[in-house]
């Protein structure tokens, strides 16, 4: 993404450091075409259209969306929504920081399922249709998160985090691998291993001299 200025970075807080997640419900102004101004943020975002249809832009990609369609926006991606004047358009967005999924221990879950998305080794689909069985499962979980967040009953944070992990699993099973990035990462790892072997061989040789 070409961020020539910090002007497009969203300043709106999404939760707090203890629970970095927020649900935003929007009933857009039908008198204008731009329903969501172009911006970016470091958080992940799931956006669900609840009324109307529009054009969703993520970086250079234009996605036609309608009621119950889901859009996934990864960290730092520019995105915006436009539609025709007079068209009603409502949606809600679940926005959360990657730290919400981080155990802070670099465990297998983070290394195998979260980090590859952060680094671009895996691409989650940007557009998800509820017409697919897995898309409907995704929509149901997102609606569940929205409902839990609104009610804020005891333990809601636990249930929200469980639902996000289930969503992540669904998306992971439908992710596309960035082959070039994967090969680059593997080459880097091999180079590091070779360097380590050479270093160990040099130490071993010096011990016997």
pLDDT higher than threshold 90 for residue 10: no
Average pLDDT over residues 87-98: 96
Confidence band of 77 (pLDDT split at 50, 70, 90): very high
46, 142 Cβ separation under 8 angstroms: yes
Please tell me the predicted confidence (pLDDT) of residue 130. 96
- Taking phi over 0 as left and psi of -120 to 50 as alpha, with beta for the rest, 104 belongs to left
Average pLDDT over residues 4-27: 88
What's the whole-model pTM score? 0.82
- Residue with the bigger pLDDT between 79 and 7: it is 79
Contacts of 30 (CB under 8 A, 6+ apart): 85, 86, 87, 88, 89
Least confident segment among 116-130, 154-168, 175-189:
175-189
Share of residues in the chain with pLDDT > 90 (%): 68
Ranges of each domain in the chain: 6-128+168-177, 183-209
Topology (CATH level 3) of domain 6-128+168-177: Jelly Rolls (2.60.120)
Spatial strand order of the sheet with 61-66 comes to: 34-39, 79-82, 53-58, 61-66
């Amino acid at each position: 993404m070409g961020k020539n200025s910090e002007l497009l970075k969203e300043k709106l807080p999404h939760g707090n450091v203890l629970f970095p997640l927020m649900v935003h419900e929007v009933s857009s102004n039908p008198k204008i075409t731009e329903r969501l101004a172009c911006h970016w943020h470091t958080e992940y975002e799931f956006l669900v259209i609840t009324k109307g249809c529009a054009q969703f832009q993520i970086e250079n990609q234009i996605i036609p969306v309608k009621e119950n369609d889901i859009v996934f926006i990864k960290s730092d991606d520019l995105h915006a929504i436009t539609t025709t004047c007079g068209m009603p358009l409502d949606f809600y967005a679940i926005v959360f920081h990657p730290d919400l999924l981080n155990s802070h221990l670099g465990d297998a879950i983070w290394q195998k399922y979260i980090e590859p998305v952060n680094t671009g080794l895996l691409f989650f689909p940007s557009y998800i249709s509820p017409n697919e069985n897995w898309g409907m499962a995704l929509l149901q979980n997102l609606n569940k998160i929205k409902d839990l967040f609104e009610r804020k009953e005891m333990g809601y944070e636990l249930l929200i985090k469980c639902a996000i992990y289930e969503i992540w699993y669904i998306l992971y099973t439908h992710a596309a691998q960035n082959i070039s990035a994967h090969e680059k990462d593997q080459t880097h790892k091999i180079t590091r291993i070779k360097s380590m072997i050479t270093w160990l061989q040099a130490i071993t040789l010096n011990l016997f001299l």
